[in-house]
């Protein structure tokens, strides 16, 4: 019976921890509102293309790497440098728990990716962006999204 009063708290925590798969246009509008258009010279279409090839717009995606690090969230931010997953060595340059990158609130993901782009080789840090987005006409990613 002592567990019963904790059920609403547990339910709230579970809801907070859920990820979300964004629609393309929903993500376009969210990233535009967050100031990513033109950030470090990248267009909204670049950011959308990155998110698609990194996670298929899924905020709950986790990829485990052979070096012991993992990639988290909609932008697949690496635990080796950028977030703390509490089981691999990290520099935690975004000062964030990797788990926080897996929720439907991508504010912290956006804050972190801005740091990644500023402190590294830009979007070239993501193989998916290099292979599928760099140097291409990406307008189709944002067409029909009313931006």
Burial class (CB in 10 A: 0-12, 13-18, 19+), 22: buried
pLDDT tens-place string over residues 89-132: 899 999 999 999 999 999 999 999 999 999 879 999 999 999 99
For 16-30, the pLDDT digits (tens) are: 457 999 999 999 999
- Structure confidence by residue, pLDDT tens digits, 6-65: 444 444 444 445 799 999 999 999 999 999 999 999 999 999 999 999 999 999 999 999
Least confident of 1-5, 79-83, 122-126, 135-139: 1-5
- All domains of the chain in start order, with CATH: 16-141 (1.10.530.10)
Query: Would you say residue 4 has pLDDT above 60?
Result: no
């Amino acid at each position: 019976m002592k567990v019963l009063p904790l059920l609403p708290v547990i339910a709230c925590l579970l809801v907070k921890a859920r990820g979300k798969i964004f629609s393309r246009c929903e993500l376009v509008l969210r990233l535009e509102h967050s100031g990513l258009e033109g950030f470090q010279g990248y267009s909204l279409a670049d950011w959308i293309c990155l998110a698609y090839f990194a996670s298929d717009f899924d905020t709950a995606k986790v990829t485990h790497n052979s070096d012991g690090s993992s990639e988290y969230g909609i932008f697949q931010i690496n635990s080796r440098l950028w977030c703390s997953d509490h089981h691999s060595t990290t520099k935690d340059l975004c000062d964030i728990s990797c788990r926080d990158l897996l929720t439907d609130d991508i504010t912290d993901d956006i804050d972190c990716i801005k740091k990644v782009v500023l402190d590294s080789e830009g979007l070239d840090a993501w193989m998916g962006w290099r292979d599928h987005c760099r140097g291409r006409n990406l307008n189709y990613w944002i067409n029909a999204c009313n931006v």
